[in-house]
Structure 1
Amino acid sequence: MTAVRPWDAFTSAEAEVRAMVADPRWQGLSVPDRAHVLAARILVTPDGDRWLFGAHARWHLLDPADGRWHLAPPPRGTRARQVGHAAATLPDGVVPPGPDFHAEPGSTQAFIGPDVSASLTEQLRVLLRASGRKSELDFPLTAFDEIFASDVPSTVAAIWGTIMWCAYAPAFDGNERLITVFGEYLRRSLPGDEWVRWLPAPPLLDLVTLVAERARAGHSRAALRLAAVIADTAQILLSDTRFRPRALALLTMVEPVLREPGLDDALPDDEAVRRAWLERCPARLGRALLGETDQEAHFSHAVYDLVEALQFRPDPRMAAAMFLADLSDSKGMLPGRLDHRLRLAYEELDRAGLTSTSAGEATEPEGFPVRVLTMPAPVLEVAPPDRASAASVLGAAYATGLAWGGLTGARVPERGLAGQTALVRRLIHERDDHHS
């Protein structure tokens, strides 16, 4: 007999809201009317927490101290009941407009553990070889010059930049073939070590600059070629869920240029072109662009992903707080951006002197961190049940670090944040490829 999953209040409420937002009549409702029907479906747990399934098809938790709603995964399986709530107190930002419920789910896995498929890598290798034969005189390196040698054409940089921009979290296995195929073009060794390459996420402006500079210089065919290389790369990346959401968004921004050459030529500068690209992206793909459009929201979503990736833990928030404790926060900006439950867990670590741990970390020669932990071991150890879970946690943790850097300017260490490097040890000896 097939086992029946136990009823869960959160799963039920989520299904109900999804059905309402999918109804064509939802688009015809005013924001106050949408807030009214959502407010009637708020859940309260025995500890008094109030939960709303709202914008971006994600859960929001009410902070009882100041009335703010924070993105936060719910405690599924916990008893909860539906309660009425004043619709007028719901901010517009938690009320779903509709298209936001159609976001691509993607994957939070880092590119450590589950490797990029051989077929995807081979397609990019072929594209890279053809692009590498272009002349650097026709395609000068106007961005990514810190990565590539000066005689490398910008067509190569366009492939690299597209891969890194589309990646959920560009932390790659040091032997990943997708990275090693760029070896002959690099100016210097990539950041990281023999275990992991902790790579920065480039801004969209870098990709825009490659194309826009050629157009301004009067080389319209070269500009079109670069746009085509970006689109071709993004098209190949669609097959991997770790790239797919941003690759889709990038395609919607670039393809109009291919259909209408010179579309952006009259714009005054690179930033204006960047804004034009962003405006072309449909609302359903908006979450993929938050790193470009709303750094505050981008960080909140990254934290949500991190807590969700840690659901195998008895206390996911304490585990997430461990990774957040690695972030440099000399100005004390972090706690106020966390939901009250996660903030309590973070403050517990702060009182123990275990926050901002990566700011002054020391590392052993092979790149693993040396940390003296004074909290009880069961609280501090994160042991994912399998490689896929570990890769998901690693990716979400690195994405959170990058998002924090984008929001505050805090530097992400070249050898990764302390908690993440500990997780690498659980993955690096479980490779799924057979490199010669």
Structure 2
Amino acid sequence: MTAVPPWDAFTATEAQVRAMVADPRWQGLSLPDRAHVLAARILVTPDGDRWLFGAHARWHLYDPADGRWHLAPPPRGTRAREVGHAAAALPDAVVPDGYDFHAEPGSTQSFIGPDVPEVLTEQIRSLVRSSGRKSELDYPLTAFDEIFGADVPSTVAAVWGTIMWCAYAPAFDGNERLITIFGEYLRRSLPGDEWVRWLPAPPLRDLVTLVAERLRAGRSREALRLAAVMADTAQILLLDTRFRPRALALLTMVEPVLRRPGLDDPYEDDEAVRRAWLERCPARLCRALLVENDPGAHFSHTVYDLVDALSFTPGPREAAATFLADLSDSKGALPERLDHRLRMAYDELHRAGLTGTSAAESTQPEGFAVRTGGVSVAPAPVVEPVVEVAPPDRGSAAAVLGAAYAMGLAWGRVSGARVPQRGLAGQAALVRRIVHERDDHHSGHT
């Protein structure tokens, strides 16, 4: 007889809210009516915390100090009961409109561990090979010139940029075939250590620039070809859940140009083209574009992912705080972006002088110089993490690494802080725990 899992208030409430939002009548309800329905299903735990399953199909935790609701994974398995809450006190931002519940969750895994499927890699290899035959005179490198040599056509850069933009967390192990495909085109070695490549995540504007420059030059045929290369790459990337949400979003932005050549011709500059692309993306894919449209909200989602990925630990928030402690926060802006429970764990580390543990590591990787005040800074010694996390298996480790790296990149978008060449201290320590398994092949884990 199959064992029945124990009843969990959070799981049950989530199922109820999902069913309500999926009902076609939800779209016809006014915002106050939706808030009233949600307010009746708020849960409270024995410690007094109030939890709401709302916008983006995610849980929100109420901060009694300032009345804000923060994205935060719930303590599943903890006893909880429904309580009444004033519907008028719910901010509009936590009330789902319905479209936000359609977003595909994707995967938080980095590419350290589970390889990209071979069929995907081979299709990308063929696309890169054909793209590399184009002339750099017809396709000049107007972006990604820090990655590729001057004689590399922008068609190759379009493939690379699409991969990196679509990746949830572009950290790849040294055996990853998807990266070695580009070896002959690289300007110099990629940043990283002896195994992991902690690669930068390009903004959408870099992809737009490749296309928009050709439009301004009167080379509409070449601009269309670059857009087609991006669409072809994104279509291939749909095979892997670590790329799929943003790949879907990019397809919805680029495919209209392929169906209606000249659609972007009226726009005068890169930013105007970028805005036009973003406006084409449907509401159901809005979370995939938070990285572009709302960096602060995107950071909050990556923190949520990190805490969720650490659910195997006795204290996920305390474990997440050790990764947050790696971030450079000279302006003290980080704590206010955290829910009060996570903020307490972070503040405890701060009082002990254990925050900003990776902040001193300003690096000068090969070809990716970091300069401070006009002076190149030599690599600092590897910084040890506050606490080493020990995931139970390789899939869990890859999920933590992906979420932690995505969180670091997202914080960079918000604060301007750089991610060190060898990754943040906690990530680097976790890599050292699993490096001996580098040639293993494991099934996916989201």
Q: Residues 188-207 of structure 1: matches in 2 within 5 Å?
A: 188-207=188-207
Q: Distance in 1 between matches of 2:388 and 2:155?
A: 44
Q: Deviations over 1:319-339 (max 9, x none)?
A: 000000000001100001000
Contact kept, 8 Å, 2:357 with 2:385, in 1: the verdict is no
| CA RMSD in angstroms, aligned pairs only | 1.6
1:381 Cα offset (Å): 2.9
Q: Which residue of 1 aligns with 2:390?
A: 383
Question: AA paired with 2:433?
Answer: R
Cα distance, 1:412–1:58 mapped onto 2, change above 3 Å: same
1:367 Cα offset (Å): 10
Q: Residues 421-432 of structure 1: matches in 2 within 5 Å?
A: 421-432=428-439
Question: AA paired with 1:172?
Answer: F
Q: Residues 57-206 of structure 1: matches in 2 within 5 Å?
A: 57-206=57-206
Q: Residues 206-245 of structure 1: matches in 2 within 5 Å?
A: 206-245=206-245
1:370 Cα offset (Å): 4.3
TM-score, normalising length: structure 2: 0.94
1:67 Cα offset (Å): 0.4
1:13 Cα offset (Å): 0.3
Q: Which residue of 2 aligns with 1:291?
A: 291
TM-score, normalising length: structure 1: 0.96
Identity %, equivalent residues: 83
Q: Distance in 1 between matches of 2:391 and 2:384?
A: 20
1:54 Cα offset (Å): 0.1
Q: Unaligned stretches of 5+ in structure 1?
A: 374-379
Q: Distance in 1 between matches of 2:37 and 2:141?
A: 53
Q: Distance in 1 between matches of 2:8 and 2:427?
A: 32
Q: Deviations over 1:242-265 (max 9, x none)?
A: 000000000000000000001010
Question: AA paired with 1:392?
Answer: A
Question: AA paired with 2:382?
Answer: P
Q: Which residue of 2 aligns with 1:420?
A: 427
Q: Which residue of 2 aligns with 1:369?
A: 382
SS in 1 for 2:6: coil
Match of 1:400 among 399, 403, 407: 407
Contact kept, 8 Å, 1:362 with 1:369, in 2: the verdict is no
1:216 Cα offset (Å): 1.3
The number of residues matched between the two structures is: 427
Q: Distance in 1 between matches of 2:200 and 2:385?
A: 28
Contact kept, 8 Å, 1:114 with 1:388, in 2: the verdict is yes
SS in 2 for 1:115: coil
Contact kept, 8 Å, 2:9 with 2:81, in 1: the verdict is yes
Q: Deviations over 1:141-162 (max 9, x none)?
A: 0110111000000000000000
Q: Residues 265-284 of structure 1: matches in 2 within 5 Å?
A: 265-284=265-284
Q: Distance in 1 between matches of 2:411 and 2:324?
A: 10
Q: Which residue of 2 aligns with 1:327?
A: 327
Q: Which residue of 2 aligns with 1:307?
A: 307
Q: Distance in 2 between matches of 1:334 and 1:21?
A: 33
Q: Distance in 1 between matches of 2:385 and 2:296?
A: 32
1:176 Cα offset (Å): 1.1
Contact kept, 8 Å, 1:174 with 1:193, in 2: the verdict is no
Q: Deviations over 1:146-193 (max 9, x none)?
A: 110000000000000000000000011022111111011111111112
Q: Deviations over 1:353-382 (max 9, x none)?
A: 11000012499xx99934385xxxxxx231
1:119 Cα offset (Å): 1.3
Q: Distance in 2 between matches of 1:52 and 1:417?
A: 32
Contact kept, 8 Å, 2:106 with 2:243, in 1: the verdict is yes
Q: Unaligned stretches of 5+ in structure 2?
A: 364-378, 442-446
Q: Distance in 2 between matches of 1:361 and 1:281?
A: 38
Q: Deviations over 1:217-260 (max 9, x none)?
A: 11111011000000000000000000000000000000000000
1:431 Cα offset (Å): 2.8
Q: Which residue of 1 aligns with 2:49?
A: 49
1:411 correspondence with 2:418 = yes
Question: AA paired with 2:100?
Answer: D
Q: Distance in 2 between matches of 1:12 and 1:432?
A: 40
1:23 Cα offset (Å): 0.5
Q: Which residue of 1 aligns with 2:345?
A: 345
Cα distance, 1:372–1:26 mapped onto 2, change above 3 Å: closer
SS in 2 for 1:429: helix
Q: Residues 12-51 of structure 1: matches in 2 within 5 Å?
A: 12-51=12-51
